[in-house]
A and B are shown apart, each in its own frame.
Chain A
Amino acid sequence: MRKLLLSAIAAVSAAALTACGGGNEGPYAGQTLHVYNWGEYTGENLIANFEEQTGATVVMDNFESNEQMYIKVANGESFDILVPSDYMIERLIREDLLQKLDKSKLDCLDLLADGVKGLPYDPNNDYSVPYFWGTVGIVYDKNVVSEEDLEAEGFNIFKDTKYKGDIYLYDSERDSFMMALKALGYSMNTTNEDELNEAYEWLVECVETMEPEIVTDEIIDNMAQGRKALGLIYSGDAAYVMTENEDMGFFMPETGTNLWSDAMVIPKNAENPDLAHEFINYVTSYEGAADNTETVGYTSPNAEVMEEYSSEGGYYYGINAYIPRTGNPNDEVFVYDETTRAIIADLWSRVKVAASNA
């Protein structure tokens, strides 16, 4: 009896083994790639195509914030690929958690658009290859808000009582303070407490007079349905809103905004760096990048893909939110500073308290 049982187990496990290996004949057959990425941030067929090409299996986990990802990585959990934002990459480099990319294994760096290459957090792309990039701006209903007002007021339009009760703010201390600091003409990376306090006063005045709704991603659907006139939004989300509703426009104030990028990095404790390099190559290649940008709506770092999707006949033709602005000296990339982060977080929670009591 026992013999029978053993042979049955052997047969089952043999079947399971062949099932795993079956059909995978690529160069990395049987290997596994652990990816840690934002939710809803990959092209429809990206993973399937990559698995088919390499024969490897991709295991993807999702995070909701850079901080959440950081905790796992700092605690030693092993991933082969992470996709953090600019300032978090800077922090990971500083804390020696990333490995340098082996550029002899990368054939994708030449494909990158100029504007997204060598951003200050990683000037030579020694550690990171961009995944998506974009800016933050104002999404607005063209039938309600005039372009002249936007040109004249910039982010101060969020304090224009003409639009009272008709605005969305984004519930993120970083983006809200960027808006206020830029409206006041300061750097978004200021560490000057007077300037931060001034920005705080700006935001308090805004929430006390304008009856804004402070939301997060609800803004995407709500603006696509034209429920309010104005909102603070990421350019990639604005691109989606504009493809859904042609009454919507996207505006970036002259006083500057935040240029951001999420990029792929390989942590020090990655188990399969070779395959990780392969993944970076595939995601940045024409095929992978096109798949990503079409599904997600954020701007592709691949110059050819960005060009094609935004030119005539392309999926994002005529949508200005799709192409991040380059060349405005007031635009900045976020720089991480723990002291300032704590101050801003505290002030933002007070802004929300003030909004509740307004």
Chain B
Amino acid sequence: MKTFSRLSIPYLIWLAMMVLLPMLLIAFYSVTDSGNGIISFTFTFDHFIKFFTDRDFLLILWRSLVIAVKTTVICVILGYPVAYFIANSSDRMRNGLILAITIPMWINMLVRTYAWIGILSEGGPLQSLLEMLGFGSHELMYTEGAVLLGMVYNFIPFMILQINTSLCKMDKSLIEASADLGADKVQTFMRVVFPLSLPGVVSGISLVFLPAVSSFFIPKLLGGGQFFLIGNVIENQFITVGEWNFGSAISMIMAVIMMCSMYLVRRLDSRTEGRVSGSRTLPGGRLAS
């Protein structure tokens, strides 16, 4: 066994260099003064104070959280029925549908978001269609709706795939048993299928919420320069302002918020698993990345 565990050493070194070291650097930057070297530096909490005492930054943080929650809720509402439908299809159909969901993900997210610019732009196909149907001429680009659409579009496959996996792994005999015991279809769904699929929903939520709350190129492309989310603020601090320390501080704040939400989601997960006692433990609440 010892020889096998040694095989993990290269991986651990890689992990330390590629994951741990950058994280530590960000943490280090966030609590030090700007313009210092490796040897001389002063610790400061100014960046955190600056962030939490500025109404504008807090408003943007709030808006980022709200839009991420909206994205997640829409993804659950739209994604669940799709996943349910896929899970209940025949094997061949299911493979085809899963493929259809996955194929767009082979194309770079950035490219797909650019495609939406064309669709949503003024005089573009969607606006013309809405006009033809008598909804009047509305501006679609550079609105919150456009950003929300972009986020749901980009992240919903994660939700569908997670829910679908947990639905497929479900023991079908439980449904038969439920029917045997006299439950109708709605009762079976509400009391057996849905609770059993919750771990999938929960891991879907973390896979959608986390990238949504920190996304920066979707608001940048579909929201324009006047629709900032917290990810854009961080990007801006690094790329154009050159305030790496402040940018790192905001990143740390985001990391803490994400860890808290992960913790909450996991608690929810373990509680649902506890409630459906007697069922197998299902994979869930685990972040794939």
Chain A residues engaging chain B, CB cutoff 8 angstroms: 169, 171, 173, 207, 212-216, 222, 225, 227, 342, 345-346, 348-350, 352-358
B227 contacts chain A at the CB level, 8 A cutoff: yes
**How extensive is the interface on chain B, given as a class?**
20 to 34
On whether the beta carbons of A356 and B122 are closer than 8 Å, the reply is: no
On whether the beta carbons of B241 and A356 are closer than 8 Å, the reply is: no
Residue ID in chain A nearest B236 by CB atoms? A349
How many angstroms between the C-alpha atoms of A46 and B59 in the bound complex?
51
Residues of A within 8 A of B240 (CB): 173, 345, 348-349
On whether the beta carbons of B122 and A354 are closer than 8 Å, the reply is: no
On whether the beta carbons of A227 and B122 are closer than 8 Å, the reply is: yes
Minimum C-beta distance from A238 to chain B (A): 20
B217 contacts chain A at the CB level, 8 A cutoff: no
How many angstroms between the C-alpha atoms of A350 and B232 in the bound complex?
12
On whether the beta carbons of B242 and A212 are closer than 8 Å, the reply is: no
How many angstroms between the C-alpha atoms of A48 and B63 in the bound complex?
52
On whether the beta carbons of B237 and A349 are closer than 8 Å, the reply is: yes
The residue in B142, B241, B243 that gathers the most chain A C-beta atoms within 10 A of its C-beta is B241
Residue ID in chain B nearest A170 by CB atoms? B225
On whether the beta carbons of B243 and A346 are closer than 8 Å, the reply is: yes
On whether the beta carbons of A353 and B123 are closer than 8 Å, the reply is: no
B233 contacts chain A at the CB level, 8 A cutoff: yes
On whether the beta carbons of A214 and B123 are closer than 8 Å, the reply is: no
Q: Would you mind naming 9 contact pairs between A and B with Cβ atoms under 8 Å apart?
A: A213-B224, A213-B226, A227-B122, A342-B241, A345-B240, A346-B241, A349-B233, A349-B237, A349-B240
B56 contacts chain A at the CB level, 8 A cutoff: yes
Residues of A within 8 A of B120 (CB): none
Please tell me which one of the listed residues B123, B226, B237, B243 contacts residue A356 in the complex, with CB atoms under 8 A apart: B226
Chain B residues engaging chain A, CB cutoff 8 angstroms: 56-57, 59-60, 63, 122-123, 142, 224-229, 232-233, 236-237, 240-243
Minimum C-beta distance from A63 to chain B (A): 15
On whether the beta carbons of B225 and A353 are closer than 8 Å, the reply is: no
- Contacts between the two chains (Cβ within 8 Å), count: 58
How many angstroms between the C-alpha atoms of A348 and B242 in the bound complex?
12
A interface, over-half SS? helix
Residues of B within 8 A of A358 (CB): 226
How many angstroms between the C-alpha atoms of A91 and B240 in the bound complex?
18
Minimum C-beta distance from B59 to chain A (A): 5
Minimum C-beta distance from B199 to chain A (A): 36
How many angstroms between the C-alpha atoms of A199 and B142 in the bound complex?
25
On whether the beta carbons of B226 and A214 are closer than 8 Å, the reply is: yes
Residues of B within 8 A of A352 (CB): 225-226, 228, 232, 236
Residues of A within 8 A of B236 (CB): 349, 352
Please tell me which one of the listed residues A216, A345, A357 contacts residue B56 in the complex, with CB atoms under 8 A apart: A357
On whether the beta carbons of B243 and A353 are closer than 8 Å, the reply is: no
On whether the beta carbons of A215 and B242 are closer than 8 Å, the reply is: no
Please tell me which one of the listed residues A173, A225, A342 contacts residue B123 in the complex, with CB atoms under 8 A apart: A225
How many angstroms between the C-alpha atoms of A79 and B40 in the bound complex?
36
On whether the beta carbons of A215 and B224 are closer than 8 Å, the reply is: yes
On whether the beta carbons of B233 and A353 are closer than 8 Å, the reply is: yes
The residue in A169, A349, A350 that gathers the most chain B C-beta atoms within 10 A of its C-beta is A349
Residues of A within 8 A of B59 (CB): 357
Apart from A348-B240, A349-B237, 5 more pairs, CB < 8 Å: A212-B226, A213-B224, A215-B224, A345-B242, A356-B63
Residues of B within 8 A of A345 (CB): 240-242
How many angstroms between the C-alpha atoms of A169 and B229 in the bound complex?
19
Residues of B within 8 A of A227 (CB): 122-123
How many angstroms between the C-alpha atoms of A225 and B124 in the bound complex?
12
How many angstroms between the C-alpha atoms of A25 and B38 in the bound complex?
55
The residue in B142, B226, B241 that gathers the most chain A C-beta atoms within 10 A of its C-beta is B226
How many angstroms between the C-alpha atoms of A356 and B123 in the bound complex?
25
Residues of A within 8 A of B224 (CB): 213-215
